[in-house]
Structure 1
Amino acid sequence: MRDAEKTIGNIIDKQGIAFISSVDDEGFPNMKAMLPPRKREGIKVLYFTTNTSSMRAGQYRKNSKSSVYFCDKRFFRGVMLKGTMEVLEDHASKEMIWREGDTIYYPLGVTDPDYCVLKFTAYSGRYYSNFKSENFLIE
């Protein structure tokens, strides 16, 4: 892969679904389909929205290890990013990724106590394309 940030960023931006994982109390991975990230800083930091009361937010508070997977089914390629997930509840983070229409999920608006931000920070990844995979580091 010549330009990881460009190639992976392009895959992320074109997907309607992201798969995020967390670790449960028994140490098993838990996977969930989510809406794509609301914001990204290169391919290192991705921001998602979720409910503060969700099982996933609770799991990340106990164990921040996570991975995020994006699949481009049209070209049968994908990328897994490995890193940590933080649960952010500060007003600035919530305001940063709030969108008009989010009241459908969070009726009290940006200050809804059941609205939080998941901040994923990647440190490595694995890219699959053309019947081969390659690992890469993210700095």
Structure 2
Amino acid sequence: METKPQTNKKLEKVADLIGDIRIAMMTTVDEQDNLVSRPMAALQVDEDGTIWFFTQRTSPKVDQIDNNNNRVNLSFADVGDASYVSISGTAEELDDRAKVDELWNPQAKAWFPKGKDDPELILLKVNTHMAEYWSASSSTMVRLVQQATAAVTGNPPKMGENEKVYN
């Protein structure tokens, strides 16, 4: 995913953590008030911390976003590096062909066989309001030793950074 330098420097760490994670789990609320999550390919984090996705105009998530004051949550996980990010924000649908051209990539053709001119193709723009991240500061082996030590001593392990960032 493309990540641009952030105007809000507090979001730099968030952009760095999610930059190598291609898939986010996007959570919305359905008509029965259930939380519903689905994998989405993140395309870009722009300089304002906005995260861009392609979607189908008639996708149920579009109605769910509209019916829930546009509120969504995005979850990113890199289990190998023990990095996790949760982003709360608002989403909006856009039919912006110039932005579609900018973000188009060959993998998108699997979901949009008619290409970037597919009339079903629109953008989801997720504006970050708050992000929380957990990031391990050491290797897997060190983390395992810390966990084992914690199990023996009864003291919680110090596993890395955890911070909430507001945009």
Class of the TM-score when normalised by the shorter of the 2 chains:
0.7 to 0.9
Percent identical across equivalent pairs? Answer: 22
Identify unmatched segments of 5+ residues in structure 2: 1-8, 136-158
Q: Which residue of 1 aligns with 2:123?
A: 117
Equivalent residues, number: 135
Higher strand share: 1
Q: Which residue of 2 aligns with 1:135?
A: 164
Match of 2:44 among 19, 39, 46: 39
Identify unmatched segments of 5+ residues in structure 1: none
CA contact under 8 A between 1:21 and 1:29: conserved in structure 2?
yes
Q: Which residue of 2 aligns with 1:49?
A: 54
Deviation at 1:8, TM superposition (A): 1.4
CA distance in 1 between counterparts of 2:106 and 2:83 reads 32
Whose radius of gyration is greater, 1 or 2? 2
CA distance in 2 between counterparts of 1:87 and 1:42 reads 19
Q: Deviations over 1:93-119 (max 9, x none)?
A: 322322245333222222211111110
CA distance in 2 between counterparts of 1:45 and 1:115 reads 19
Match of 1:71 among 77, 83, 87: 77
Higher helix share: 2
Q: Which residue of 1 aligns with 2:31?
A: 25
Q: Deviations over 1:34-60 (max 9, x none)?
A: 22x212114620101111121112212
RMSD: 2.0
CA contact under 8 A between 1:52 and 1:116: conserved in structure 2?
yes
CA contact under 8 A between 2:14 and 2:131: conserved in structure 1?
no
CA contact under 8 A between 1:9 and 1:42: conserved in structure 2?
no
Q: Deviations over 1:11-53 (max 9, x none)?
A: 1111132111111112222111122x21211462010111112
CA distance in 2 between counterparts of 1:58 and 1:134 reads 32
Deviation at 1:86, TM superposition (A): 0.7
Kindly tell me: are residues 61 and 52 of structure 1, through their superposed partners in 2, closer, same or farther at Cα, counting changes over 3 Å?
same
CA contact under 8 A between 2:73 and 2:89: conserved in structure 1?
yes
- Greater shift in the superposed pair: 100-109 or 114-123: 100-109
CA distance in 2 between counterparts of 1:106 and 1:75 reads 32
Match of 2:108 among 99, 102, 113: 102
